[in-house]
Structure 1
Amino acid sequence: MAVLARRVRPEQWKPIGVAALEANAMTVVRSTDNRSVIAGPGAGKTELLAQRAAYLLQTATSPPPRRILAISFKRDAASNLAARVGQRCHRSHAARLDSMTFDAFAKGLVDRFGQALPKRWRPRTDYEIMFTSDALYRGFLLQEVGAPPKIIGSYADFQAISLREFERELLLGKPLPEDGWPIPTVGQWAADRFWQSSLHEGKTSRLSFPMIGRLAELLLRVNPMAREALRLTYSHLFMDEFQDTTQVQYDLVRTIFKGTETVITAVGDNKQQIMRWAMAMDDPFAAFDQHFVAKRTPLFNNYRSSPELVRIQHVLAQALDAHTVKPVSKTVGTVAGDSCAIWDFSTPEAEASSLAAFVANEIKTHTLVPRHFALLVRQKPADYAAVLAPAFEAAGIPLRNEAGFVGPMMLQELLTEEASRLVVQLLRLAMTKHAGRNWSECQAKLGVLRGIAIDDEPAQAKLARKLDTFATTLAAAHPKAPTSFADSLAIVEQAIDFIGRQRLVAVHTSYAQGGWLGKVVEAISSHLTGSATRGGAWSEVLDIYEGVDAIPLMTIHKSKGLEYHSVIFVGLDDGAWWSFANDQIEATAGFFVAFTRAKQRVIFTYCAQRGRRTKIATLYALLNKAGVTTIAVT
């Protein structure tokens, strides 16, 4: 429930839209010092930050025109926080929150100030986004870079560089030296050659997002005016999913805000750190507490999972942190029978048919829908989908591999793209009888894109008329869903033109370089075409596009931040967890993340045809310790 845009005395402020916050959460909301908040699964991290934003904005603790910066690891987390603040505050208050990903924040800085970088580190304005891989680094080190100068070191020293060391330590591990390395080691020489070739030796500069982060940190280090402008702009900083913060991201924040009056709230859970493979720091909380003199504050409530699931979760959590405090479940159990079990199957086909029948029965018996369930796998979701999808289709439940690609993009990522969301909202507004919230959301988002003030009533009324005219015209031109990619592309292009390409680029910096907006448009059109082949009326097609009536299949990493009534983890075996011994802590954290997506039930499946369960005996031992039973399903 939104409130009026009026100032509230700090002592009179109360949480908005919720009955109450736990004591520690309220302490964080009102805090005037830096805080590191350890918030376990279901603790309400997004709600905590939304309430803190509401408090700061409504009490003028963050006085206008100063703003709040919220940076997250994932795009959906950033958009979810912005939406939640919009629900908790008047629009004029919520408009002073800038919620974005670390990558978008760094890219925006480079796009605005990059030409002030030293020439050695200055990218061309039309730089492209590069997605790196082991193969790319291997090809560079073995074929492109050549032999190092003899004065630096031997070729044997060069050959000893591992791919992991090259990326994590040499290329991105430390802030960039303004004038380059005076006397580089062999590794530094190789890293510098990669930087210089990426920046200056191609048709245009090609940069990965971590490289952009390093450039952003350097430009603020050498440009005090830009750094001071950020400090003056933002009175408060929120960092979500802080356990996944990389050294690149941490150094950027440290360069901007260390030793300033900007108050920082870092929220996350060290038991859910599953991104060390993507260069997440080993213990960002300890570094933050030290460098920013932050006070650590734990949250104890779990608003997601039933008491029985919370009990089992605590057993898993203790394997990651022996000192973790048992959370308090604030919900009730609603399922009959086991809240958690391991189901053993003889074949993948038997597994698929049994799971489909189980979900179909649960939907019918308990008035649930497919999106209340999720199928999670460790890796290679397409392989599992090949067997699972036919069984679920036969049971009348579409299964959707959200890790699958639609054109140039992963489906799950496409659905979080702002361009995709806007196009779907416009189509629902134009093509369905009941516009509902789509009208108000389209009006609000277009107003932001066009720079129209919330209280500018004449401009808002003019925008409303334009929106109504566009919706009417689009509906008249396309009364039926598209039958080809060309038709879909024409519809999407019309929507994008109305939204405004340049406005999208100006507000969402990821669309500025490398033709990314064009790739997103292609993916939207491709997915709309595929959805139309399975649907009839526009409303049905758009439901298919968004997966309203489909059960999602995804990897553990892509499930993070989501929640479901029931989670079915398919394939608890050595084959799926082949790398378990390489990093048992991160693998166990991934297991914990998968388990904690569930509100009421977790089912693990095992099929001997896919692999044994000796290498992951540790995981089975934890489940056994928690009293989870194994059931042979025939």
Structure 2
Amino acid sequence: MSLVHPDKWNVRDGIELEKTALDVTKSSTNNIVIAGPGAGKTELLAQRACYLLETGVCCAPSKILAISFKKDAAANLAERVKKRCGKELSRRFESITYDTFAKHILDQFRLALDKEYRPSKNYNILLKDNEIAEIADKYITNCYPDYPNWRNIIRRNSELSNLLCNTVLPLAPIKPEESMQELLNNAMWDILLRKMENGESSLTFPMISKLSDYLLRENPYIRKALGMTYSHVFLDEFQDTTDIQYSLLKTSFLESKATLTAVGDEKQRIMGWARALEGVFSKFSNDFSADTKRLVLNHRSSPKLVAIQNIISKNLEQNSIEVSVPDKWGELDGTCEIWAFESSEDEAICLADEVINWINTEGIKPRDVCIIVKQQEDIYGAAFKNRLAEQGVQAREEKEYQDLLSEEIVQVILNMIILAIEIKAPDSRKVVIDFLFYVNGFDENTKYQVLYEFEDQLGIFIADLNKKLIVFLNQLEKVLLNEIIYMIINFIDKSKIKNSFPQYSRGNYLDEMILNLIH
């Protein structure tokens, strides 16, 4: 593919960027971009990726690394880059989460860790506080009989998780006069790394980040290799970056030649409860000598809504910049109303009736309606969902599905099912074909005969899957759903999935995702 001279490169797909965004897109320095909702932060990163790849500023074999806080954000950015600059160039654009980034480092360079901190090859991942607590209850008394009353000090499961998060590696030697919290922290690392009865380590994602951070601090050669792999690094939704994640970021790239671009908005910082680092923009600016840029356009909201947002922003932050709207809006466009109710039940019923009215009279599809709740969505949502159900409209709480639906294996399973049911489903077919070609190592050099034979095999499988789905839809028995999911996994080949996606190659993570989908 021929390259474009930087002076002749144009923004892709007719997207309009304000001048500051365009300057950042073509910048050769570290930048932190502060922008509110609707300012086009993700689009800026997508266009910057196109500029770097299409002009050769990021030249092969160097790659661009984009790190997001959530899986769906990472997937969205990757898809946008692929759409903007094509499949070939987007192969050198890696869009992942902080957790995945840390796991890649640990999995690839695990053997470089001191034996004392080296987890087993097939370590398990602990996702919930109660999983850590169950291990502590089972092993601490046996492995550390001198701590019989530890539960009198550590009463809540979350306290164990916090202990692990607050760890500084390498661990200081245990001294009898230290506090029970410090003694227990060292004990838990010891147990989780080495003393599980099955011989397999069990780690939380913060532990994985800390081990990766420690590995890179101790091994400059690996740190150098990381810097040589990625010439540019993007950091999306940067305001939610935790102290642990920021430490890994600094260790990975502070002394490298990589150019970093961070985007976010301090006013959208909602993850303080999950250790989001306060003042992270200032720290990044100081540590990486980054220029601070601000975007002032809101492409998403109408003028009336932006006026309200400006008032709220001024109350939150006196020096907040006045945001404006692009010319596509009329001066009086937009509606903002405040509805007051006597109770949450009255509110839920009224809102549900309004949604039903939109569906019945305006033709809005149910899946295009999203209700944002400040807190306790399970309590508030019950009355709302019950009212919708009375009118034959189904609703679900998205939070519990969001991360699951962002998983590559879940996406391909669901699209495989759609393809089997609808037959003509071009979008699903593209997802399935791209996934299968990737795990099988097919590319433009693969012989046509091999591709044709594989297409035939897929057609036969889809027909068999269709028959199985018809039986399931008639009986709706869980055992049949279980058979369908594993029928798809076996067709793809579990070993190929693990070999192609590092996040599925260790421990039981892949099996957990499959079970979560079934249940």
Identify whether the pair has TM-score above 0.5, normalized to the shorter chain: yes
The unaligned stretches of length 5 or more in structure 1 are 404-409, 527-634
Aligned to 1:561: none
Q: Distance in 2 between matches of 1:140 and 1:518?
A: 24
The 3 A distance-change label for structure 1 pair 66 and 337 is closer
What letter is aligned with 1:390? N
Q: Distance in 1 between matches of 2:39 and 2:157?
A: 34
Q: Distance in 2 between matches of 1:60 and 1:505?
A: 32
The 3 A distance-change label for structure 1 pair 19 and 125 is closer
SS of 1:441's equivalent in the other structure is helix
Give 1:231 shift: 1.2
Matched, 1:57 2:53: yes
Match of 2:305 among 302, 309, 333: 309
Q: Distance in 2 between matches of 1:297 and 1:356?
A: 42
Matched, 1:127 2:123: yes
Q: How does 1:475-494 map to 2 (within 5 A)?
A: 475-482=466-473, 483-494=476-487
Match of 1:67 among 63, 77, 81: 63
Matched, 1:474 2:465: yes
Q: 1:447·1:463 contact (CA, 8 Å) conserved in 2?
A: no
Deviations 1:139-178 (A, max 9, x none): 969x9489x999xxxx99x999998997798643464127
Matched, 1:248 2:238: no
Aligned to 2:169: 176
Q: 1:307·1:332 contact (CA, 8 Å) conserved in 2?
A: no
What letter is aligned with 1:471? I
Aligned to 1:558: none
Matched, 1:81 2:71: no
What letter is aligned with 1:440? K
Match of 1:210 among 206, 211, 230: 206
Aligned to 2:512: 519
Matched, 1:201 2:195: yes
Aligned to 2:103: 107
Q: 1:443·1:467 contact (CA, 8 Å) conserved in 2?
A: no
SS of 2:370's equivalent in the other structure is strand
Matched, 1:438 2:425: no
SS of 1:69's equivalent in the other structure is strand
Aligned to 2:407: 417
Moved more, 341-350 or 79-88: 341-350
Match of 2:443 among 448, 453, 459: 453
SS of 1:340's equivalent in the other structure is coil
Matched, 1:26 2:22: yes
Matched, 1:319 2:309: no
Matched, 1:260 2:256: yes
Moved more, 14-23 or 196-205: 196-205
What letter is aligned with 1:467? L
Aligned to 2:215: 219
What letter is aligned with 1:437? D
Aligned to 1:191: 185
Matched, 1:271 2:267: yes
Q: Distance in 2 between matches of 1:383 and 1:353?
A: 13
Q: Distance in 2 between matches of 1:337 and 1:25?
A: 25
Q: Distance in 2 between matches of 1:340 and 1:357?
A: 19
Give 1:15 shift: 0.8
Deviations 1:555-612 (A, max 9, x none): xxxxxxxxxxxxxxxxxxxxxxxxxxxxxxxxxxxxxxxxxxxxxxxxxxxxxxxxxx
Give 1:425 shift: 1.3
The unaligned stretches of length 5 or more in structure 2 are none
Deviations 1:382-438 (A, max 9, x none): 2223222221122342222234xxxxxx32332222212101111222221322222
Q: Distance in 1 between matches of 2:96 and 2:324?
A: 31
- Which structure carries more helix by proportion? 2
Q: Distance in 1 between matches of 2:504 and 2:418?
A: 24
Matched, 1:498 2:491: yes
Give 1:135 shift: 10
The 3 A distance-change label for structure 1 pair 52 and 170 is same
Alignment size in residue pairs: 513
Q: 1:67·1:236 contact (CA, 8 Å) conserved in 2?
A: yes
Matched, 1:508 2:501: yes
The 3 A distance-change label for structure 1 pair 440 and 374 is closer
RMSD across aligned positions (CA): 3.5
Aligned to 2:284: 288
- Which structure carries more strand by proportion? 1
Give 1:98 shift: 1.0
The 3 A distance-change label for structure 1 pair 345 and 61 is same
Moved more, 358-367 or 118-127: 358-367
Q: How does 1:586-625 map to 2 (within 5 A)?
A: none
Q: Distance in 1 between matches of 2:318 and 2:30?
A: 26
Deviations 1:450-481 (A, max 9, x none): 23234546355554444334323433554454
Q: Distance in 1 between matches of 2:6 and 2:511?
A: 47
Q: Distance in 2 between matches of 1:184 and 1:322?
A: 49
Matched, 1:340 2:336: yes
Give 1:331 shift: 7.6
Give 1:214 shift: 0.1
